[in-house]
Chains A and B, each alone.
Chain A
Amino acid sequence: MTPDRRTFLKHSTAALSGGMLAGPEALYETPTQSPEGRRALGARVVRALDAPLLRAVGDAVLPESLSANQREDAIASFELWLEGFDPVAELRHPYGGDVVPYGPPDPTPGWSAQLEALDLIADARYQATFGELDRGARRTLLQEQITDPGEGLPSTARARHIATALMAHYFGSPVATDRCYGVAIRRLECRSNDTVGGRPPTVGS
């Protein structure tokens, strides 16, 4: 596939998945907006969600027992992840797979629209912003919006809703694993050989 056609498909799929209504001209990226163009220019990707709304969602879906700093760390880490996301990137090849897999398009437009929708629904139902609702009301509203299927959390990039994306990112992290087990497993960290053997050390919650 040529870069131009791939760029077209990346953008068009992103727009469709986000439920965006856009004219045909919006489906084309300029060279500087494409990943290749960005890399060539050394430009920083600008991809952000409404920060206060995202934090209102985080307050509803992340563990209440997290301190304010821990919650902010979790949300900031998610924002950093999103900023570094490369749409339709070539993924790790599956075992013996004869087809090269590619990741999903940019989820930002869809997630951004979902955040906006939370405010709109909150206004229609409670005459308040989503952030002004108490945690219980926010969770009720989110339960209505989440359509991710199945019991488990989705992968972050393929989450259907911004709330499940944030949950997937946090609960899939080594930090959350250590919090769950109460010990320093330090999943995916390179470790020295002086840590061999024995139960991992306890960590505070």
Chain B
Amino acid sequence: MPRRVESDICIIGSGITGILAAERLTELVDADIVMIEAGGHTTPVRDRVEKRRRLVEYGENPWEGDHIPDQGGTGLMYRSMAVGGCAMHWDGATPRFSPEDFRQRSLYGVGTDWPVDFQDLEPYYQDFEERVGVAGEQGPPEYDPRSAPYPMPPLPLSYNLEILREWGASADIPFWTQPWAKATTTEHGRAVCRRCDTCHVCPTGAKFTPDLTLDRLIAGGKLRLVTETLVRRLELEADSDRVSRAMAVDRNAPDEPVEFYASTFILAAGYCWSPHLLLLSADGRYPDGLANSSGLVGRYMSGHPYMSAQIDLPFELYPGMFETNSLLSRMYARPGPLERYVRHDLRIWDSTAGRQARLRGDDGRIHFGDSVMDDWRARTRRSSARVRGYYDVVPDRDSTLTLDAGNRNRWGDPLPRIQFREAPESAELRQYTHDTMIALFERMARAGGGSVMSTSFSPTMEHPCGGCRMGDDPATSVVDSHGRSHDHENLFVIGAPTHVSGGCANGTPTFTALSLRSAAEVARGV
């Protein structure tokens, strides 16, 4: 006999998307909320100092038990599956998208416009920033539009970044401090960031991690969390298109199925596992999976690649004083009218490229002792800066997440396979984009009296998203602008999978702002 769990709202996934949406829902409605997480709890705050030490010394994963051995897949995907999700180990960078990211087609004739624009989302960006406690510096308003100040003052710039900001200005590019979800005041109840430079695991608790919010919600009796329980499929009511239940397995009691019944289901399992679950939920009525009358579940997978350069500069810098922090410019994400489409962000870090101790010198011989130190010291008289730009690409319809019948978990469910592909109109722009960005890097180098040491292209689609794209037309989208499935009125998909495209900035603020907007819509129906 299956175990039955009933609630008003059932949220599948306990990452930053689901947790912040749940927090918002608890403010808006008095509802019984259940959250399901396939993984378990990972490293608690009290253990993060020691885990950080082992990360620094041995490179070990500080997030204990944060994945399920046979619940992986193929392609760009994170193995993390734990309470708090990937934002347990994010670096915490929180730049917003630019208004242009939502209107590619209208402004530039490429890609697809989103069904929301920047102004729709702006209050939710601010809400997100308040909830996670973002520390940031207002950039020039024409490049960094916002309606209210950041909740906290920015992280202080190191000596190196102060000098590099002047360098950027000498190239006529305004740079400001990257916004971060790291506390610079104690107003949010977190410690102040000590710039330990291991943001992957923050030893002080200054960085926002979703477990902090979740623990508070649970302690306040605001929601029930069910862990180590893998949802395997969603099922519909017999006589309607409403989702009736989520069929799950308790990983600790696999012989006892669990069924979650709710009035509203919110799928908040990320860009990989959300479309995966919809595809797994195929039945006689919906042989291609739920929410998939458009045939677009698992399509238009997106993200953004980047171009970067290491630049040799005649400055005296001291890399290592909080290398995680960077300077940010959105100047090229808001370029105004363009003859050919290229948009990207731009960041600067201090760098140790070419300036580390080495075993062999220029003569190819092995060196020891003071000879190694002398060689190292000689190469630090000048400095390196790393510059990088995420650039916007248009995903192809055949950029896919599919079920891999040849790769199954222990329950026999096919696992996901992700294969990114750019649309032809985007692929045709790639060389032009690279040439444009390399020319920019060279101009920056010249402005500082330096030279480009190397350039590189990373094809990895960072900040992956898509798979359940939003839109107004049910024929060309999976969900509406609130994340509500066009096919199933009580099913919402929230977060990264609903992105139409990857933009050219980290995705978390945008997909979380969208989720907060979705929460308001869910609340209206409860």
Q: CB within 8 Å of B: which residues of A?
A: 1, 60-65, 81, 84-86, 89-93, 95-100, 103, 139, 142-143, 146, 148, 150-155, 157, 164, 167, 171-172, 174, 176-177, 179-181, 183, 185-193, 196-200
Contacts and interface: CB of A to CB of B under 8 A. Distances in A.
Given A95-B462, A96-B78, A143-B366, A86 B58 contact: yes
A96 B462 contact: yes
B156 to A, nearest CB: 4
A175 B54 CA distance: 18
Interface stretch (B36-44, B188-196, B260-268, B425-433): B188-196
B357 A176 contact: yes
A99 B78 CA distance: 9
Interface stretch (B67-75, B449-457, B512-520): B67-75
A99 B69 CA distance: 10
A147 B60 CA distance: 26
Contacts of A174: 320
Interface of B: 54-62, 67, 69, 72-80, 156-159, 162, 192, 194-198, 200, 203-204, 316, 318-322, 356-360, 365-366, 368-370, 372-373, 376-377, 380, 460, 462, 464
B360 A64 contact: no
Given A89-B58, A185-B320, A200 B357 contact: no
B352 to A, nearest CB: 9
A63 B74 contact: no
A69 to B, nearest CB: 17
Contacts of B464: 96
B77 A96 contact: yes
B357 A92 contact: no
Contact of B60 (A89, A171, A183): A89
Contacts of A186: 320-321
Contact of A84 (B58, B62, B76, B359): B58
B61 A93 contact: yes
B200 A164 contact: no
B320 A63 contact: no
Contact of A63 (B78, B194, B196, B370): B370
Contacts of B368: 60-61, 139, 142, 167
A180 B360 contact: no
Contacts of B356: 152-153, 171
A73 to B, nearest CB: 16
B360 A150 contact: yes
Given A152-B359, A174-B320, A196 B60 contact: no
B320 A177 contact: yes
18 contacts: A62-B369, A65-B373, A92-B62, A96-B78, A98-B72, A139-B368, A157-B58, A164-B359, A167-B359, A176-B357, A179-B373, A180-B357, A186-B320, A187-B197, A187-B321, A188-B197, A191-B196, A196-B156
Contacts of B58: 84-86, 89, 103, 157
A158 B133 CA distance: 40
A64 B171 CA distance: 44
Contact of B320 (A61, A187, A192): A187
B409 to A, nearest CB: 14
B284 to A, nearest CB: 32
Contacts of A185: 318-321
In the A-B complex, list the 7 residue pairs whose CB atoms are closest, starting with the nearest: A187-B320, A171-B357, A190-B194, A190-B196, A196-B156, A96-B76, A185-B320
Contacts of A96: 76-78, 460, 462, 464
Contacts of A155: 59
Given A84-B57, A190-B194, A61 B357 contact: no
Contact of A86 (B60, B74, B77, B197): B60
Contacts of B376: 171, 180
B171 to A, nearest CB: 23
A142 B366 CA distance: 9
Contacts of B196: 188-191
Given A171-B372, A185-B321, A200-B159, A98 B200 contact: no
A41 to B, nearest CB: 19
A197 to B, nearest CB: 6
B377 A180 contact: yes
Contact of B73 (A64, A95, A98): A98
B194 A191 contact: yes
Given A90-B61, A155-B59, 19 more contacts: A61-B368, A92-B55, A92-B200, A96-B76, A96-B460, A97-B78, A97-B79, A100-B67, A103-B58, A103-B59, A151-B358, A152-B356, A171-B373, A176-B357, A187-B320, A188-B56, A188-B320, A189-B196, A190-B203
A147 to B, nearest CB: 10
B79 A153 contact: no
A193 B156 contact: yes
Nearest to A197: B159
B435 to A, nearest CB: 26
A8 B198 CA distance: 33
Contacts of A198: 159
